[in-house]
Amino acid sequence: MMTKNASSRMQKLVLGITGGIAAYKAAELVRLLIKQNIDVQVVMSEAACQFITPVTMQALSGRPVYINMWDNSIANGMPHIELSRDADAILIAPASADFIAKLVHGRADDLLSTLCLARDCPLLVAPAMNKQMWENPATQRNIAQLLQDNISVLGPAAGEQACGEVGLGRMLEPEDLLSEVIAHFTPKLLHAKRILITAGATLEMIDPVRAITNLSSGKMGYALAQVAASMGAEVTLISGKSTLSSPNHVKIVSATSAEAMYLAVMQHIGQQDIFISVAAVADYSPAQAAAQKIKKSEDTLTLHLIKNKDILADVASLPNAPFCVGFAAESENVVEYADKKRLAKKLPLIVANEVTSAMGSDHNQVSLIDDAGIHHLSSAPKAIIAHQILEHIAKML
C-alpha cells in the first residue's frame, strides 16, 4: 500500500496507543512529531488510559483524543471512518501482543482496532511486550502475518524491560520511531542507489595523548546518511571520531585517521553509485607519531608534517568513478574557492559553506555549485539542508 501524496501539505498521522508500560514514551513521540511539523491525531485503547491519560496526549497533540467507538462528537457518528480517511499513515506505538493478535485476525471490538481494519492508508506497528511474550510462537506467527499483509513492523529493541528481565521486546525509543515515520513519508528518490558518505573529523596522532584535528562535529554527514537512507538508498557511512548516534538503516565504518579513512573509502568504493565526501579530513599529519608522550622541555616544538592523500580527488579519478560530490568549507571567497576545487577535481557537484557558521552547529547555509551555475540555499537545520542536497543530486542523476 503506497503512502498518499501529501508533499504539498502537512503530513497527517494517526497515533494509536495500546495498553502497556511503554505508553509513557508516546508522550515524547508526539512532541517530536509535532516538532517535525507532522499533524498528530491520537486514538487510545481503554487499556492505554491505565498507563497515560488522554489529557496529557491532548495537551501535547493539540487535538481531542478519541477512545470510544460511539463518540458522538464526530458529525456522522463514524469516527473509525473519519479518522482514517484523512490520515497519511497510522502508527500503533506501543502495539501490545493482544492488539497485534487483533490486527492479524481482523477483530474490531473497539475504536482503534476498527479504525485499523477500516483504514485506506499504510499501517505501522511498534511492538512492546515482555521478552517471553515476544518470543512466544503465537506472537511470532502473528508478526509474520503482519509482514505478509504489508504492515510495517518497527522493532522491537533489546534491553532491560519493566519486569526486570532483559531481551527483545522493548518498544523503539521515540527518536528512533520518529526517524522511521520520517523515512516512511520521504519520497524514495534514491531507491536502490548505493551511496558512500564520509563524515566527521580525522585525528592525526602526535603522541599517545595528543592529536591534530579540527572542529567538525560530523552532523552534516550524519544528516545526509540518515536522509539518504530515508530516500531508499543503501548507505555506508565512513565516520571519523564522533559522539553522534548512528543513523538508522545505515552501515557504519569507523576510520579515525586520514589514512584509515582513505583505506576504508577505497575498500568500499567499488559498485557505489554516489560518493559524498563530507568529512573534514586533515590535510597534513605527523610523519611519525612519538611512541611516548612528548615532554614539555623546550620553548618551541617542531613537528614534521606530511601531506595526506586526497580521498575525493583519487575517487573522482577512478576509471569507473561514481557520481562524486565534494564539500568545501572556506573562511573567505567561499564560492570562488569551492568552484576552483570542483573544476580541479572534475566534480559534477560541490557544496560550499562558510566554515565558522557550519562546524559544530545544528544549522548550515550552503551553495550548490555545478555546471549549471550556483544555487544558494537559505540557512536551515542540517537535516533540511541534507534533503535539499540529495534532491538536487537525484535531479542531476
Once rounded to an integer, what is the mean pLDDT over residues 362-369?
Answer: 92
- As a whole-number percent, the residues of the chain with pLDDT over 70 amount to 95
pLDDT over 70 (residue 7): no
Which pLDDT score is estimated for 275?
A: 98
C-beta atoms surrounding 217 within 10 Å = 20
Q: CB pairs under 8 A, 24+ apart, for 153-159?
A: 153/124, 153/125, 153/127, 154/93, 154/124, 154/125, 154/126, 154/127, 154/180, 155/126, 155/127, 156/126, 156/127, 156/128, 156/129
Q: What φ, ψ does residue 24 adopt, rounded to 5°?
A: -65, -25
Q: Which of 49, 116, 163, 324 is catalytic?
A: 163
Amino acid of residue 174: P
pLDDT over 90 (residue 362): no
* Mean pLDDT across the chain: 91
pLDDT over 80 (residue 76): no
Confidence at 294, pLDDT banded by 50, 70, 90: very high
Cα gap 75→84, rounded to integer Å: 15
Query: Hey, what's the cell of 115?
Result: 479504525
Which pLDDT score is estimated for 111?
A: 93
Cβ pair 227, 386 in contact under 8 A = yes
pLDDT over 80 (residue 319): yes
Which pLDDT score is estimated for 297?
A: 86
pLDDT over 90 (residue 358): no
Which pLDDT score is estimated for 359?
A: 74
Instruction: Identify the residue with better confidence: 9 or 308.
Output: 308
Once rounded to an integer, what is the mean pLDDT over residues 136-142?
Answer: 96
pLDDT over 50 (residue 4): no
How much is the pTM? 0.80
Residue 116: active-site member: no
Per-residue pLDDT tens over the stretch 79-115: 667 777 889 999 999 999 999 999 999 999 999 999 9
Which pLDDT score is estimated for 6?
A: 38
Per-residue pLDDT tens over the stretch 247-283: 989 999 999 999 999 999 999 999 999 999 999 999 9
Confidence at 316, pLDDT banded by 50, 70, 90: very high
Torsion (CA) 281, 319, 349, 307 in degrees, nearest 10: 20
Which pLDDT score is estimated for 75?
A: 63
Once rounded to an integer, what is the mean pLDDT over residues 351-362?
Answer: 81
Residue 301 falls in which region: left (phi positive, over 0), alpha (psi -120 to 50) or beta = beta
Q: Domains of the chain by range and CATH?
A: 12-185 (3.40.50.1950), 194-289+300-396 (3.40.50.10300)
pLDDT over 60 (residue 70): yes
Cα gap 113→139, rounded to integer Å: 17
pLDDT over 80 (residue 77): no
- Please name the helix (run of DSSP H) or strand (run of DSSP E) that holds residue 31, with its range, or none: helix 24-35
pLDDT over 80 (residue 311): yes
Per-residue pLDDT tens over the stretch 338-350: 999 999 999 999 9
- As a whole-number percent, the residues of the chain with pLDDT over 90 amount to 78
